[in-house]
Amino acid sequence: MKKITIMLSGIAILSACSNTHDVTLRELLFGSRKKTQTVETMPIREITADNQDKHIVTDMPFTVQLPKRSERFEQDAPLPEVYAIPAARATNKMLDETRDIYEQNGETFLFITGLKKADRTLPDGIYKAEQVTRQIIDGSNTFKVTADKDEADYILDTIIDNVGTPENPILSYRLILIDRENNKINEWIETVRRLSNDDRSWW
């Protein structure tokens, strides 16, 4: 009889609440159906060799800030004189192999383009490569260097690049000779790298 009375009381309570919102029997007996639970993330504890606790926080973001390519260059950047090495080699080779062009004509005008950086992160000092190329050609009594591209019989493109890594750079200097009709005559490439010796010289 007592069980029936309890059940009837429960039904009456449910009916009284039906005009407000749906309520389950579990909610009536134990409270709201949604409860906020706060979970604290505990650090992992690791026992080290000297029996001391070592705490590792696992809920903090772990990021590594890698240096930029240009910053890695700057740590051990080559001096401007280093860029002169492949420039001198490529320029002299170009003059040796184009004798049939400038020796057959009285004056052969040559326009030298501004030095292009294939690797934009190369540090300052590349101007030395372009400077050496111009000086060698000017003093060779071969081509007549002109500042007017429209006057030139030939155009010499100059390009410098790093075909290695910032930590172990391999500097590449390229000369490309084309005629006024944009036909490629030839190209010359010379490279220089740092040696693994005590003085860290380049060759």
φ, ψ of residue 17 to 5 degrees: the values are: -90, -5
Q: What is the mean pLDDT of the chain?
A: 74
**Any bridge partners for residue 193, and if so which?**
170
CATH architecture of 78-193: 3-Layer(aba) Sandwich (3.40)
- Containing 134, the helix (H) or strand (E) segment is helix 127-138
pLDDT tens digit sequence for 143-195: 999 999 999 999 999 999 998 887 788 899 999 999 999 999 999 999 998 76
- Report how far residue 165's alpha carbon sits from residue 122's, in angstroms, rounded to the nearest whole number: 11
Query: What DSSP string describes 33-88?
Result: S------PPPPEEEE-TTS-EEEE--SS-----PPPHHHHHHTTPPPHHHHHHHHH
Q: How many residues does the chain have?
A: 203
Side-chain-facing half-sphere of 90: CA atoms under 13 Å: 29
Q: What is the pTM of this model?
A: 0.61
pLDDT value, residue 125: 77
pLDDT tens digit sequence for 69-109: 555 555 566 778 889 999 999 999 999 999 999 988 778 99
Go through 92-109 and write b for each residue having 16 or more CB atoms within 10 A of its CB, e for each that does not: bebbeebeebbeeeeebb
Tokens found for residue 146: 């002109």
β-pairing verdict for 109-112 and 154-162: parallel
Residue 31 has pLDDT above 80, yes or no: no
Residue 44 has pLDDT above 60, yes or no: no
